[in-house]
Amino acid sequence: MAVLKHYYFRFSALISAYSLWLVLLLHAVGIVGMLSPWQEYFRLLTPFNLIFCGALLWLNHRDQKSELIRFASFVFLFGYIIEFVGVHTGLVFGRYSYGATLGPTLFGVPIIIGLNWLLITYSVSVLTDGFKIPLAAKIILGALLAVGIDWLIEPVAVHYDFWSWTHGYVPLRNYVGWFFTSLIMLTSYHVLGVKSENKLALPLYLTQLIFFLVLTLSIRL
């Protein structure tokens, strides 16, 4: 066991040293691929992109204790459940359905969707926790940042068959639902006492913003 721990920490240190470059390269290749004639093949890599980014965030989190595991488990499961309720009732985000881009589904909801919620929530939690403002302000600001990235994701998601809206447009309810769902997830981060020690969280959030901004502009031009 001691030998395995030794090699795990060595591997973590090695990957952490190059994490930022890996994230930049991954998203740069993603932009080129999604704008190329072979974009249908690059779309299929979306779940692997999420998994890879999740692994990088984990390896860069300096305090990998039970609090982080409980937070990640809660957000992943809650994210899936809220999407299940949303897809089958339309009450949370409005009427929508998932396409094939996000991979295998369970009861009409991609299994990977919980990880998408986790990446966004975790990144904005670490980012806002560094601000010297009241806790309530951190949570509200984090929820607004989460809604902001969803606003950029929506046109890309529809265009590339992540999901589609029944009435052909994104309802206001979607952003309201995102705000309150994010509030719950962000609150759990602080309630569980997760330590904000991750140098990759902010770069990943900004890289994703640029990634979806470029794709959104390419769609609208």
pLDDT tens for each residue of 33-74: 999 988 888 888 899 999 999 999 888 887 766 888 899 999
Residue 81 has pLDDT above 70, yes or no: yes
pLDDT tens for each residue of 137-158: 999 999 999 999 999 999 999 9
Q: Which amino acid is at 96?
A: Y
So what's the pLDDT on residue 8? 55
Q: Which residue has the higher pLDDT, 91 or 4?
A: 91
Q: How many CB atoms lie within 10 A of CB 31?
A: 16
Q: How far apart are CA 178 and CA 79, in angstroms?
A: 10
So what's the pLDDT on residue 58? 87
Q: Which amino acid is at 78?
A: F
pLDDT tens for each residue of 157-179: 999 989 999 988 999 999 999 99
Tokens of 137: 């302000």
So what's the pLDDT on residue 1? 59
Residue 124 has pLDDT above 90, yes or no: yes
So what's the pLDDT on residue 13? 62
Residue 198 has pLDDT above 60, yes or no: yes
pLDDT tens for each residue of 16-28: 677 888 999 999 9
Q: Identify the sign of the CA torsion 93, 184, 50, 20.
A: positive
Residue 5 has pLDDT above 60, yes or no: no
Q: Are 19 and 11 in contact (CB under 8 A)?
A: no
| Cα 192 → chain centroid | 20
The secondary structure of the chain, three-state, reads CHHHHHHHHHHHHHHHHHHHHHHHHHHHHHHHHHCCCCHHHHHCCHHHHHHHHHHHHHHHCCCCCHHHHHHHHHHHHHHHHHHHHHHHHCCCCCCEEECCCCCCEECCEECCHHHHHHHHHHHHHHHHHCCCCCHHHHHHHHHHHHHHHHHHHHHHHHHCCCEEECCCCCCHHHHHHHHHHHHHHHHHHHHCCCCCCCCCHHHHHHHHHHHHHHHHHHHHC
Percentage of residues in the chain having pLDDT higher than 70 = 91
Tokens 């309720």: give the residue.
85
Which whole number is the average pLDDT over 75-97? Answer: 96
Q: Identify the sign of the CA torsion 114, 116, 117, 121.
A: positive
